[in-house]
Structure 1
Amino acid sequence: HVWTMITIMSLSDGSDVHQTSTLWETKGDNATVECNHTKGGDYIYMYWYRQLPGENMELIVSTTAGNDDHDFGKSSKEKFSATKPNAESGTLIVKNLEPGDQGLYFCAVSQHSDTDTCGS
């Protein structure tokens, strides 16, 4: 077997965001990473990032509770999928794992979309 290690970390100002810690998965399998928080029902936005060894952190997908049309930006929907059934939880799925998928995966939650703008 070829194993891929996925280490998951939380971006939070406290202990109120929780994720799966470390996954060891077989090449070709899918890895499902869960993220939950207790910051409240108005934190409806969840962002998933990853940082591969020696590279900068990159945004994989932006999700919104109750919306299945997630924003994958430049990320491949053939490689990633996500669920956001409610404000307090969400998942990221990394599909068809390769050794190059090994790295740090981060979850962040917010009350505001990264596309929100302030009125003048």
Structure 2
Amino acid sequence: MKQIYMTTYSFLYFTPAGLIDGSDVTQTPLLWMMEGQSATMDCNHTKGTSYYEMYWYRQLPGQRMKQIVLTTQSPPHQYESGFSADKFPATKTNALTGSLTVERLLFNDSGVYFYSCTNTQLLVSQ
């Protein structure tokens, strides 16, 4: 049986206003899923409505981070090459909330999934 494990870590990043620690962002902290299921990561922030775009990224083991999608409240969302709404449907209900789903989980979906200043780690075990 194959299982998928997801967890969240915060990291620091720079903005024009200075260093931000991610404490104003809440993201799904832990998901334990089976291969073939769907995994949804929710994200909320208190940065204000001027932060109306959400960028979602994925980093697979041994690879560099790649952008999956840019979301706004007004679809269509902008998917990067190699990613699609069928596999990675995203929602952006308002300026402060959004989600990313990974459909039909496979072992190859194991990696770290990021939003802005936090990330969700996804591990698929065999």
TM-score tier by shorter-chain length is 0.7 to 0.9
- Runs of 4+ with >2 A deviation: 6-12
Distance 1:7 1:50, change over 3 A: farther
Count of matched residue pairs: 108
Q: CA RMSD in A?
A: 1.6
Runs of at least 5 residues in structure 2 that lack an aligned partner in the other structure = 14-19, 118-126
Partner of 1:32: 40
Runs of at least 5 residues in structure 1 that lack an aligned partner in the other structure = 110-120
After superposing the two structures, state which structure 1 stretch, 86-95 or 74-83, moved more: 74-83
Partner of 1:118: none
Partner of 2:65: 57
Distance 2:116 2:59 in 1: 14
Distance 2:102 2:112 in 1: 12
Alignment partner for residue 55 of structure 2, among 37, 47, 50?
Answer: 47
Q: Deviations over 1:17-54 (max 9, x none)?
A: 11112221111111000011000011101000011111
Q: Would you say the 8 A contact 1:7–1:103 is kept in 2?
A: no
Partner of 1:116: none
Distance 1:21 1:7 in 2: 5
- TM-score after normalising by structure 1: 0.82
Q: Would you say the 8 A contact 1:34–1:90 is kept in 2?
A: yes
Q: Which amino acid aligns with 1:68?
A: P
Partner of 2:75: 68
